Amino acid sequence: MTSLDDVAKAAGVSAATVSRALSGRGNVSKATRAKILEVAAELDYVASSAASSLASGRMRNLGVIMPELHRWFFNTVLTGISAEATRAGYDVTLYNVTADPEVRQEIFTAFLRRRRVDAVIVVALELSDWEELELARLGIPVVIIGGSSGTLPGVSMDDAAVTELATAHLLELGHEVVGFIGGAEQFDADYKVPSQRRAGFDRALRDRHIASEPALIGEADFTIPGGFHAARQLLGTPGTGMTGLVAASDEMAIGAILAARELGIRVPEDLSVVGVDGHELGALFELTTVDQHAQNQGATAAKLILATVESDGTHPKSLQRSFDLLVRRSTARVPRESSA
């Protein structure tokens, strides 16, 4: 492996100058820099990250903590982060916090404290006080996506407003009996998004003075099968007169559409379904949804935190992400005689 010194010797300058030329910090004359760049390329020189990190304290590495990778939101956000990090020359180190509490704790103590990353992005994890403290103790910028924290900045959406918008869409179409599929009471106890989304649904109903009907509320785990089963039960309940259904995630909405099809309920003629996410499968099911631009959320968080790292190191600011209602064919005006 060629080292800095090899380059310095070959270029006839000191190691210090090579370092400056390659990193862009400090002054180097144009001619010298050109010469060094040429020699470095010739020798295929790439600086050792360990040496560079040790000397400078900079890692050029971004940590990402996520609870899982299967659900669309997570891998989409991760894709966004990764693209942005790569563009900036940063590596991405993935910490997959599993359900195992020991693993989770290990991540926060052993792994993160090795000082391997310059910054951390936490995705959709509700942090315990202890965890926030550990994170703060790292002394590096932290940004939260799709979760909330009293003390840490985040790139987030108003998760209540999102379902409120979805619900309002249905109400405006004339639906009066609207159901909801969201997180189970105990689903992801440590993740507030489900309850927020539920709150938005409730709010929309309340604003129109419509009573929330417990029989119209289903619980699922945000996946397609989860939505399928919850919807089948909801739709199988006779006499509800439900003509609209809001799902707190697109995956559940898709599950609901599948359930409706199985039961011979036409979407949107008999039932309007709206989801939340902007899942790529939505197009296939012509699903009306509230797009939360997940990939963008990841990219934005990465950009935000990398800017912080590269500049002073003050704490990044929180950012509110926008979202848009994307109307497709799974929602329609309520039929004249509304009887499900």
- We find the least distance from the C-beta atom of residue 37 to DNA, in angstroms, to be 12
| 20 lines the binding site for DNA (CB under 7 A) | yes
- 47-66 mask for a second copy (x: CB under 8 A)? xxxxx-xx----x-x-----
Partner that binds at residue 94, options DNA, a second copy, none, CB closer than 5 to 8 Å by kind: a second copy
22 vs 65 by CB, closer to DNA: 22
Contact residue for a second copy among 3, 79, 233, 237 (CB under 8 A): 79
Give the distance from CA 181 to its chain's centroid: 21
Residues 181 and 245: beta-carbon distance below 8 Å: yes
* DSSP per position, 227-288: HHHHHHHHHHSTT----EEEESSHHHHHHHHHHHHHTT--TTTT-EEEEEE--GGGGTTT-E
Binding mask 85-114 for a second copy (x = CB under 8 A): -x--x-xxxxxx-x----x--xx-xxx-xx
φ, ψ at 94 (rounded to 5°)? -100, 125
State the binding partner of 27 from a second copy, DNA, none, CB within 5 to 8 A by kind: DNA
Q: Return the half-sphere exposure (C-beta side, CA atoms, 13 A cut-off) of residue 11.
A: 29
Residue 284 contact among DNA, a second copy, none, beta carbon within 5 to 8 Å by kind: a second copy
C-alpha distance from residue 156 to each of 147, 205, 226 (Å): 7, 24, 25
The contacts of residue 27 (CB under 8 Å, 6+ apart) are 20
In which residue are the tokens 């590096």 written? 140
Return the residue matching tokens 């003509």: 243
Q: Shortest distance, CB of residue 51 to DNA, whole angstroms?
A: 3
> Smallest Cα–Cα separation from 227: which of 196, 184, 189, 186?
184
Count, residues near a second copy per rule CB under 8 A: 51
- Is 266 a binding residue for a second copy by CB under 8 A? The answer is no
Q: Would you give the binding string for DNA spanning residues 36-75, x where CB under 7 A is met?
A: ---------x-xx--xx-xxxxx-----------------
CB of 245 to a second copy, least distance (A): 18
Q: How far is the CB of 120 from DNA (least distance, A)?
A: 20
323 lies in the site for a second copy, by CB under 8 A: no
* Backbone phi, psi, residue 42, to 5°: -55, -45
First-to-last C-alpha distance (Å) of the chain = 72
Q: What is the token pair recorded at 157? A: 């959406």
Given DNA, a second copy, none, residue 234, with its beta carbon under 5 to 8 Å by kind, binds: none
Residues found near a second copy in the complex (CB under 8 A): 1, 44, 46-51, 53-54, 59, 61, 68-70, 72, 75-76, 78-79, 82-83, 86, 89, 91-96, 98, 103, 106-107, 109-111, 113-116, 224-225, 228, 255, 258, 261, 280-281, 283-284
